[in-house]
Amino acid sequence: MAGHSKWANIKRQKAVVDAKRGNIFTQLSRAIIVAARSGVPDPAGNFQLRTAIDKAKAAGIPNDNIERAIAKGAGTFGSGSDLEEIRYEGYGPGGVAVLIEALTDNRNRTAADLRVSFSKNGGNLGETGCVSWMFSQKGVCVVEGVVDEELLLEASLEGDAESYDRTDAEVIEVFTEIGNLEALSRVLKQKGFKVSDVELRWIPGNYTEVTDHEQARSLLKLIDTLEGLDDVQTVTANFEMSDNLMDLSFNHH
């Protein structure tokens, strides 16, 4: 996982900065709309919705906006029903596999935006199925703070976790099957751990090593560009690179 934990960290710090940009509001509001639409529009009975609301609150989205997004998803406030979830796949520089989850009300516009982002940054948008076989979806609980690993291991086993990965001194990610995510987060919270984030994530089954500085720079710029698109919810790529190369590339792109 070398270089990948570092990436998770940088992305978390970036998310804090991005929260000041408008598109994170759009993305989080859309996640609420879809969650409210796919289950009951009541957070108490809808784990996906509860998680989306927690993220929105953490990013500082006003309660009015959150309520409106729930209403849109429930169909009691204007449109929200025309948003569809679509997965796009492609290749970044050096053949790195890129998986994108989007929520859009206009798939032609989204595909066109993605195609331009890929071609400007040395990649290309591929056919459905071209890279998704390399990824599997898992539930992830992000635990923050100084943690006794023995106790976390016990709690993780009790909550049926599959594995965990320390991304830095004060962040550990605990992985589980998708259907078990709610149960795992409940156990971890009951045991007193600070669960700062709960999400579904695509995990690559294999990694492509990136060693060339130019390639690394183009790749990080591609991911950044894709994440900046309003319709895009998540971007996952199967690259590994050294911390030094990542720092160099991040500071120059």
Half-sphere exposure of 209 (CA within 13 A, CB side): 3
Do residues 100 and 87 lie in contact, with contact meaning Cβ atoms separated by under 8 Å? yes
* Distance of alpha carbon 183 from alpha carbon 127, whole angstroms: 35
Single-letter code of the amino acid located at 140: V
Give the position of tokens 């639409």: 37
Question: Would you list the domain boundaries of the chain?
Answer: 4-74, 85-133+206-252, 134-204
Give the position of tokens 């709610």: 182
- Quick one: which of 74, 75, 103, 73 has its CA closest to 87? 103
Residue 108 has which token pair? 């032609």
Single-letter code of the amino acid located at 142: V
Burial class (CB in 10 A: 0-12, 13-18, 19+), 199: middle
Do residues 113 and 229 lie in contact, with contact meaning Cβ atoms separated by under 8 Å? yes
Task: For the beta carbon of residue 125, count every other beta carbon within 10 angstroms.
Answer: 19
Instruction: Give 165's strand partners.
Output: 173
Q: Does domain 85-133+206-252 have CATH number 3.30.465.10?
A: no
Q: What is the pLDDT of residues 147-205, one digit of tens each?
A: 999 999 999 999 999 999 888 788 899 999 999 999 999 999 999 999 988 888 899 99
Domains 4-74 and 134-204 are alike in CATH topology:
no
Homologous superfamily of 4-74 in CATH? Integrase, N-terminal zinc-binding domain (1.10.10.200)
User: Domain 134-204 belongs to what architecture?
Assistant: 2-Layer Sandwich (3.30)
Strands of 63-162, DSSP E: 84-91, 97-104, 124-125, 135-144
* Distance of alpha carbon 102 from alpha carbon 175, whole angstroms: 23
Do residues 81 and 60 lie in contact, with contact meaning Cβ atoms separated by under 8 Å? no
Instruction: Give 9's strand partners.
Output: none
pLDDT in tens, the chain (253 residues): 334 555 555 665 565 555 556 677 888 888 899 888 888 888 888 998 999 999 899 888 899 999 999 998 887 766 555 788 899 999 999 999 999 999 888 999 999 999 999 999 999 999 999 999 999 999 999 999 999 999 999 999 999 999 998 887 888 999 999 999 999 999 999 999 999 888 888 999 988 999 999 999 999 999 989 988 888 888 999 998 887 888 777 665 5
